[in-house]
Protein backbone atom coordinates (compact mmCIF):
# COMPACT_ATOMS: atom_id res chain seq x y z
CA UNK A 1 0.00 0.00 0.00
CA UNK A 2 1.10 3.58 -0.62
CA UNK A 3 3.05 5.31 2.13
CA UNK A 4 0.70 8.28 2.36
CA UNK A 5 1.36 9.62 5.87
CA UNK A 6 4.17 10.21 8.32
CA UNK A 7 4.92 9.75 12.01
CA UNK A 8 7.26 12.45 13.31
CA UNK A 9 8.85 12.24 16.78
CA UNK A 10 10.02 14.98 19.11
CA UNK A 11 13.62 13.75 18.75
CA UNK A 12 13.53 14.35 14.98
CA UNK A 13 13.04 10.73 13.86
CA UNK A 14 10.36 10.13 11.25
CA UNK A 15 8.62 7.07 9.77
CA UNK A 16 6.51 6.91 6.63
CA UNK A 17 3.47 4.64 6.72
CA UNK A 18 -0.03 3.98 5.45
CA UNK A 19 -3.05 5.75 6.91
CA UNK A 20 -6.03 3.79 8.25
CA UNK A 21 -8.90 4.68 10.54
CA UNK A 22 -9.81 8.38 10.69
CA UNK A 23 -8.30 10.55 7.99
CA UNK A 24 -6.69 13.43 9.87
CA UNK A 25 -3.74 14.79 11.80
CA UNK A 26 -3.11 14.12 15.48
CA UNK A 27 -0.61 15.11 18.18
CA UNK A 28 0.04 13.27 21.44
CA UNK A 29 2.55 11.44 23.61
CA UNK A 30 3.78 8.23 21.98
CA UNK A 31 3.78 5.17 24.27
CA UNK A 32 4.08 1.45 23.54
CA UNK A 33 2.03 -1.48 24.81
CA UNK A 34 3.36 -5.05 24.69
CA UNK A 35 -0.01 -6.84 24.95
CA UNK A 36 -0.68 -9.41 22.23
CA UNK A 37 -4.44 -8.84 22.45
CA UNK A 38 -6.77 -6.27 23.95
CA UNK A 39 -6.40 -3.39 21.51
CA UNK A 40 -10.09 -2.50 21.96
CA UNK A 41 -9.77 -2.26 25.75
CA UNK A 42 -6.58 -0.23 25.32
CA UNK A 43 -8.18 2.26 22.93
CA UNK A 44 -11.14 2.81 25.26
CA UNK A 45 -9.14 2.99 28.52
CA UNK A 46 -9.41 6.61 29.82
CA UNK A 47 -5.83 6.36 31.09
CA UNK A 48 -4.66 6.73 27.47
CA UNK A 49 -6.13 10.23 27.17
CA UNK A 50 -3.87 12.41 24.95
CA UNK A 51 -1.62 9.48 24.02
CA UNK A 52 -0.79 7.76 20.73
CA UNK A 53 -0.41 4.02 21.30
CA UNK A 54 2.15 1.87 19.56
CA UNK A 55 1.27 -1.84 19.66
CA UNK A 56 4.40 -4.02 19.67
CA UNK A 57 2.54 -7.15 18.53
CA UNK A 58 2.80 -7.05 14.71
CA UNK A 59 -0.73 -8.10 13.66
CA UNK A 60 -3.52 -5.91 15.09
CA UNK A 61 -7.24 -5.98 14.29
CA UNK A 62 -7.46 -9.70 13.43
CA UNK A 63 -10.42 -10.41 15.76
CA UNK A 64 -12.23 -7.14 15.06
CA UNK A 65 -14.30 -5.07 17.47
CA UNK A 66 -17.23 -6.20 19.62
CA UNK A 67 -19.78 -4.58 21.95
CA UNK A 68 -18.52 -6.18 25.18
CA UNK A 69 -14.81 -5.35 25.38
CA UNK A 70 -15.09 -1.59 25.78
CA UNK A 71 -13.69 0.01 28.92
CA UNK A 72 -15.65 3.21 28.20
CA UNK A 73 -18.10 4.46 25.58
CA UNK A 74 -15.50 6.37 23.56
CA UNK A 75 -11.88 6.03 22.44
CA UNK A 76 -9.53 8.00 24.68
CA UNK A 77 -6.35 7.14 22.77
CA UNK A 78 -5.76 9.77 20.09
CA UNK A 79 -3.88 7.58 17.64
CA UNK A 80 -2.81 4.00 16.93
CA UNK A 81 0.46 2.77 15.42
CA UNK A 82 0.74 -0.82 14.14
CA UNK A 83 3.02 -2.96 11.99
CA UNK A 84 0.09 -4.49 10.10
CA UNK A 85 -3.61 -3.67 10.33
CA UNK A 86 -6.10 -6.46 9.53
CA UNK A 87 -8.96 -5.13 7.38
CA UNK A 88 -10.84 -8.46 7.35
CA UNK A 89 -11.22 -9.75 10.94
CA UNK A 90 -12.45 -13.24 11.78
CA UNK A 91 -14.14 -13.86 15.13
CA UNK A 92 -17.63 -15.02 16.14
CA UNK A 93 -18.13 -11.95 18.37
CA UNK A 94 -16.85 -9.36 15.90
CA UNK A 95 -19.27 -6.58 14.97
CA UNK A 96 -16.95 -4.50 12.81
CA UNK A 97 -13.36 -4.01 11.75
CA UNK A 98 -10.78 -1.99 13.67
CA UNK A 99 -10.53 0.38 10.69
CA UNK A 100 -14.29 1.06 10.77
CA UNK A 101 -14.24 1.55 14.55
CA UNK A 102 -11.38 4.06 14.38
CA UNK A 103 -13.18 6.02 11.67
CA UNK A 104 -16.34 6.27 13.80
CA UNK A 105 -14.36 7.41 16.84
CA UNK A 106 -12.07 9.79 14.93
CA UNK A 107 -8.88 7.99 15.90
CA UNK A 108 -6.00 8.33 13.44
CA UNK A 109 -4.10 5.14 12.60
CA UNK A 110 -0.81 4.50 10.80
CA UNK A 111 0.43 1.07 9.65
CA UNK A 112 3.45 -0.28 7.81
CA UNK A 113 5.79 1.14 10.47
CA UNK A 114 8.91 -0.71 11.63
CA UNK A 115 7.51 -1.04 15.15
CA UNK A 116 10.57 -2.90 16.50
CA UNK A 117 12.84 0.00 15.57
CA UNK A 118 10.33 2.50 16.94
CA UNK A 119 10.12 0.72 20.31
CA UNK A 120 13.93 0.71 20.57
CA UNK A 121 13.91 4.48 20.00
CA UNK A 122 11.30 5.03 22.73
CA UNK A 123 13.18 2.76 25.15
CA UNK A 124 16.36 4.71 24.44
CA UNK A 125 15.04 8.27 24.30
CA UNK A 126 11.88 7.85 26.38
CA UNK A 127 8.21 8.56 25.76
CA UNK A 128 7.91 11.80 23.83
CA UNK A 129 5.61 14.03 21.83
CA UNK A 130 4.78 13.03 18.27
CA UNK A 131 2.48 13.75 15.35
CA UNK A 132 0.79 11.60 12.69
CA UNK A 133 0.07 13.61 9.56
CA UNK A 134 -0.36 13.38 5.79
CA UNK A 135 1.60 16.61 5.52
CA UNK A 136 5.22 15.53 5.06
CA UNK A 137 6.79 18.98 5.59
CA UNK A 138 9.16 18.05 8.47
CA UNK A 139 9.79 21.67 9.44
CA UNK A 140 6.07 22.34 9.96
CA UNK A 141 5.67 19.06 11.82
CA UNK A 142 8.58 19.94 14.11
CA UNK A 143 7.01 23.31 14.96
CA UNK A 144 3.68 21.66 15.83
CA UNK A 145 5.35 19.04 18.02
CA UNK A 146 7.46 21.68 19.80
CA UNK A 147 4.34 23.70 20.65
CA UNK A 148 2.39 20.70 21.98
CA UNK A 149 2.44 20.42 25.83
CA UNK A 150 4.35 17.55 27.42
CA UNK A 151 2.60 15.06 29.72
CA UNK A 152 4.63 16.08 32.78
CA UNK A 153 2.69 18.69 34.69
CA UNK A 154 -0.66 18.01 32.95
CA UNK A 155 -3.75 17.18 35.00
CA UNK A 156 -6.12 15.27 32.68
CA UNK A 157 -8.47 13.79 35.26
CA UNK A 158 -11.22 16.34 34.66
CA UNK A 159 -11.18 15.38 30.96
CA UNK A 160 -11.79 11.70 31.71
CA UNK A 161 -14.23 11.74 34.64
CA UNK A 162 -18.04 11.37 34.69
CA UNK A 163 -20.23 14.49 34.59
CA UNK A 164 -22.24 13.89 37.77
CA UNK A 165 -22.75 11.48 40.64
CA UNK A 166 -24.59 8.30 39.61
CA UNK A 167 -25.32 4.90 41.12
CA UNK A 168 -25.08 1.25 40.19
CA UNK A 169 -27.25 -0.72 42.59
CA UNK A 170 -26.88 -4.23 43.97
CA UNK A 171 -28.95 -5.97 46.67
CA UNK A 172 -30.51 -3.62 49.22
CA UNK A 173 -28.50 -5.05 52.12
CA UNK A 174 -25.17 -4.74 50.31
CA UNK A 175 -22.28 -2.54 51.31
CA UNK A 176 -21.79 0.75 49.44
CA UNK A 177 -18.56 1.93 47.82
CA UNK A 178 -17.91 5.50 46.72
CA UNK A 179 -15.81 5.47 43.54
CA UNK A 180 -13.76 8.56 42.73
CA UNK A 181 -13.83 8.47 38.94
CA UNK A 182 -10.51 9.81 37.65
CA UNK A 183 -11.08 7.90 34.40
CA UNK A 184 -12.40 4.61 35.75
CA UNK A 185 -12.34 1.48 33.61
CA UNK A 186 -15.69 -0.27 33.24
CA UNK A 187 -14.36 -3.65 34.39
CA UNK A 188 -13.50 -2.25 37.83
CA UNK A 189 -17.14 -1.30 38.32
CA UNK A 190 -18.37 -4.61 36.90
CA UNK A 191 -16.25 -6.68 39.30
CA UNK A 192 -17.30 -4.67 42.35
CA UNK A 193 -20.99 -4.62 41.45
CA UNK A 194 -21.60 -7.97 39.79
CA UNK A 195 -18.99 -10.25 41.35
CA UNK A 196 -18.94 -8.77 44.86
CA UNK A 197 -22.55 -7.53 44.92
CA UNK A 198 -21.68 -4.00 46.06
CA UNK A 199 -23.71 -0.82 45.63
CA UNK A 200 -21.61 1.75 43.82
CA UNK A 201 -21.86 5.53 43.98
CA UNK A 202 -19.61 6.93 41.25
CA UNK A 203 -18.62 10.57 41.53
CA UNK A 204 -16.62 13.04 39.42
CA UNK A 205 -12.94 13.41 40.21
CA UNK A 206 -13.55 16.75 41.97
CA UNK A 207 -16.36 15.56 44.28
CA UNK A 208 -16.18 17.46 47.59
CA UNK A 209 -15.13 15.20 50.51
CA UNK A 210 -18.08 16.54 52.52
CA UNK A 211 -20.41 15.20 49.82
CA UNK A 212 -18.72 11.80 50.14
CA UNK A 213 -19.32 11.89 53.91
CA UNK A 214 -23.00 12.74 53.31
CA UNK A 215 -23.28 9.56 51.22
CA UNK A 216 -21.61 7.68 54.10
CA UNK A 217 -20.11 4.80 52.08
CA UNK A 218 -18.52 1.72 53.64
CA UNK A 219 -15.36 2.22 51.60
CA UNK A 220 -13.76 4.50 48.98
CA UNK A 221 -12.13 3.44 45.73
CA UNK A 222 -9.70 5.72 43.89
CA UNK A 223 -9.77 4.72 40.22
CA UNK A 224 -7.23 4.72 37.44
CA UNK A 225 -6.93 7.74 35.14
CA UNK A 226 -4.67 9.82 32.87
CA UNK A 227 -2.06 12.53 33.31
CA UNK A 228 0.55 13.56 35.86
CA UNK A 229 -0.71 12.67 39.37
CA UNK A 230 1.28 15.48 41.01
CA UNK A 231 -0.62 18.01 38.87
CA UNK A 232 -4.02 16.89 40.23
CA UNK A 233 -3.65 19.06 43.33
CA UNK A 234 -7.38 19.25 44.05
CA UNK A 235 -7.63 15.44 44.09
CA UNK A 236 -4.67 15.10 46.46
CA UNK A 237 -6.20 17.61 48.87
CA UNK A 238 -9.60 15.87 48.74
CA UNK A 239 -8.04 12.48 49.49
CA UNK A 240 -6.11 13.96 52.44
CA UNK A 241 -9.45 14.94 53.98
CA UNK A 242 -10.77 11.38 53.63
CA UNK A 243 -7.75 9.42 54.87
CA UNK A 244 -8.75 7.62 58.05
CA UNK A 245 -12.48 8.23 57.46
CA UNK A 246 -13.24 4.90 55.75
CA UNK A 247 -11.06 2.17 54.14
CA UNK A 248 -9.53 3.35 50.86
CA UNK A 249 -8.31 1.29 47.90
CA UNK A 250 -6.38 2.93 45.05
CA UNK A 251 -5.67 1.54 41.57
CA UNK A 252 -2.98 2.93 39.20
CA UNK A 253 -3.49 6.72 39.22
CA UNK A 254 -5.52 6.20 42.41
CA UNK A 255 -2.43 4.52 43.91
CA UNK A 256 -0.28 7.49 42.97
CA UNK A 257 -2.77 10.04 44.33
CA UNK A 258 -3.14 8.14 47.61
CA UNK A 259 0.66 7.99 47.94
CA UNK A 260 0.93 11.75 47.34
CA UNK A 261 -1.83 12.41 49.88
CA UNK A 262 0.14 10.35 52.42
CA UNK A 263 3.26 12.48 51.85
CA UNK A 264 5.17 10.47 49.25
CA UNK A 265 6.36 11.77 45.86
CA UNK A 266 5.94 10.65 42.23
CA UNK A 267 8.17 10.88 39.16
CA UNK A 268 7.87 10.29 35.42
CA UNK A 269 9.21 6.98 34.15
CA UNK A 270 11.43 7.02 31.08
CA UNK A 271 9.00 5.06 28.90
CA UNK A 272 6.42 3.75 31.36
CA UNK A 273 4.96 0.29 31.95
CA UNK A 274 2.24 -0.80 29.50
CA UNK A 275 1.36 -4.40 28.80
CA UNK A 276 0.02 -7.62 30.23
CA UNK A 277 3.18 -9.41 31.37
CA UNK A 278 4.86 -7.29 34.06
CA UNK A 279 6.24 -9.31 37.01
CA UNK A 280 5.42 -7.87 40.45
CA UNK A 281 6.55 -9.31 43.79
CA UNK A 282 4.40 -9.17 46.91
CA UNK A 283 7.09 -8.51 49.52
CA UNK A 284 5.42 -10.24 52.49
CA UNK A 285 4.94 -13.58 50.72
CA UNK A 286 7.68 -13.27 48.07
CA UNK A 287 5.10 -14.47 45.54
CA UNK A 288 5.31 -13.11 42.01
CA UNK A 289 2.24 -11.98 40.08
CA UNK A 290 2.16 -11.41 36.34
CA UNK A 291 0.26 -8.15 36.00
CA UNK A 292 -1.47 -5.81 33.58
CA UNK A 293 -0.02 -2.29 33.65
CA UNK A 294 -0.59 1.09 32.05
CA UNK A 295 1.20 4.04 33.60
CA UNK A 296 3.87 6.61 32.81
CA UNK A 297 4.47 7.84 36.38
CA UNK A 298 5.51 5.98 39.52
CA UNK A 299 5.76 6.48 43.28
CA UNK A 300 9.18 7.26 44.71
CA UNK A 301 10.14 5.00 47.62
CA UNK A 302 10.79 6.99 50.78
CA UNK A 303 11.00 6.31 54.51
CA UNK A 304 7.62 6.90 56.10
CA UNK A 305 6.71 5.22 59.38
CA UNK A 306 2.99 5.18 58.51
CA UNK A 307 3.42 3.58 55.06
CA UNK A 308 4.68 0.14 54.08
CA UNK A 309 5.77 -0.65 50.52
CA UNK A 310 4.01 -3.93 49.76
CA UNK A 311 4.95 -4.67 46.12
CA UNK A 312 7.83 -3.98 43.74
CA UNK A 313 8.19 -4.28 39.98
CA UNK A 314 10.81 -6.94 39.22
CA UNK A 315 11.82 -5.28 35.93
CA UNK A 316 13.03 -2.03 37.49
CA UNK A 317 12.33 -2.29 41.27
CA UNK A 318 9.82 0.58 41.24
CA UNK A 319 7.04 0.72 43.84
CA UNK A 320 3.96 -1.30 42.86
CA UNK A 321 1.93 -1.16 46.06
CA UNK A 322 1.67 0.54 49.44
CA UNK A 323 -0.38 0.09 52.61
CA UNK A 324 -1.06 2.08 55.75
CA UNK A 325 -2.56 -0.06 58.50
CA UNK A 326 -2.84 3.08 60.65
CA UNK A 327 -5.23 4.72 58.18
CA UNK A 328 -6.80 1.51 56.75
CA UNK A 329 -5.83 2.20 53.15
CA UNK A 330 -3.80 0.44 50.47
CA UNK A 331 -3.16 0.71 46.75
CA UNK A 332 -1.55 -1.06 43.81
CA UNK A 333 0.09 0.41 40.74
CA UNK A 334 -0.95 -2.47 38.47
CA UNK A 335 -4.49 -3.31 37.35
CA UNK A 336 -6.25 -6.07 39.35
CA UNK A 337 -9.20 -5.86 36.94
CA UNK A 338 -6.83 -6.48 33.97
CA UNK A 339 -8.81 -5.96 30.71
CA UNK A 340 -6.65 -6.95 28.98
CA UNK A 341 -4.21 -9.14 30.87
CA UNK A 342 -3.81 -11.85 33.53
CA UNK A 343 -5.93 -12.12 36.69
CA UNK A 344 -3.17 -12.86 39.23
CA UNK A 345 -3.94 -9.63 41.11
CA UNK A 346 -7.72 -9.83 41.23
CA UNK A 347 -7.46 -10.85 44.89
CA UNK A 348 -7.00 -7.20 45.94
CA UNK A 349 -10.68 -6.54 45.38
CA UNK A 350 -11.36 -9.24 47.96
CA UNK A 351 -8.84 -7.65 50.34
CA UNK A 352 -10.69 -4.34 50.00
CA UNK A 353 -14.04 -5.98 50.72
CA UNK A 354 -12.60 -7.64 53.83
CA UNK A 355 -11.35 -4.27 55.06
CA UNK A 356 -14.84 -2.79 54.98
Write out the DSSP string of 203-233.
EETT--HHHHHHH--SEEEE----B-GGG-H
Query: Residue 103: pLDDT band by 50, 70, 90 thresholds?
Result: very high
Position 171 pLDDT exceeds 80? no
Which residues are within 8 A (CB) of 140 and not within 5 positions of it... i.e. 6 or more apart? none
Q: What is the mean pLDDT of residues 308-320?
A: 97
Position 327 pLDDT exceeds 70? yes
Q: What is the mean pLDDT of residues 82-96?
A: 96
pLDDT digits 0-9 by tens, 44-65 = 999 999 999 999 999 999 999 9
Query: Residue 302: pLDDT band by 50, 70, 90 thresholds?
Result: confident
Catalytic residue among 5, 184, 252, 329: 252
Pairing of strands 199-204, 176-181: parallel
Domains of the chain listed by start with CATH number: 5-147 (3.50.30.20), 157-355 (3.40.50.880)
pLDDT digits 0-9 by tens, 220-231 = 999 999 999 999
Query: Residue 1: pLDDT band by 50, 70, 90 thresholds?
Result: low
Is 305 annotated in the active site?
no
Is 311 annotated in the active site?
no
Per the CB < 8 A criterion, the answer to whether 217 and 201 are in contact is yes
Q: What confidence score (pLDDT) does residue 143 get?
A: 98
Q: What is the mean pLDDT of residues 176-205?
A: 97
- Rg, Å, the chain Cα set: 20
Is 13 annotated in the active site?
no
Q: What confidence score (pLDDT) does residue 173 get?
A: 81
Q: What confidence score (pLDDT) does residue 303 get?
A: 83
Query: What is the pTM for the complete model shown?
Result: 0.96
Task: Compute the mean pLDDT over every residue in the chain, rounded to the nearest whole number.
Answer: 96
Catalytic residue among 29, 320, 323, 337: 337
Catalytic residue among 255, 278, 295, 335: 335
- The whole-angstrom separation of Cα 166 and Cα 204 is 9
3-class SS of residue 157: helix
Q: What is the mean pLDDT of residues 337-349?
A: 94
Closest to 51 (Cα-Cα) out of 171, 225, 196, 250: 225
pLDDT digits 0-9 by tens, 239-297 = 999 999 999 999 999 999 999 999 999 999 999 999 999 999 999 999 999 999 999 99
Amino acid sequence: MDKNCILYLENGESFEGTSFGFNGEVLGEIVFNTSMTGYQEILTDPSYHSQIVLMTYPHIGNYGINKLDRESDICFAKGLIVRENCFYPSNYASDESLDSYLKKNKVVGISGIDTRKLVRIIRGDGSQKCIISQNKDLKKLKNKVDEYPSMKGRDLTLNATCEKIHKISAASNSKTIFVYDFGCKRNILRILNQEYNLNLVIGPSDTDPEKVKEINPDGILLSNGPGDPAAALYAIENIKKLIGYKPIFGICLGHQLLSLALGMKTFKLKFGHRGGNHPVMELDTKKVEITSQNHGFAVKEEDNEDIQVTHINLNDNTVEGIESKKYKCFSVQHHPEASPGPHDSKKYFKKFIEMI
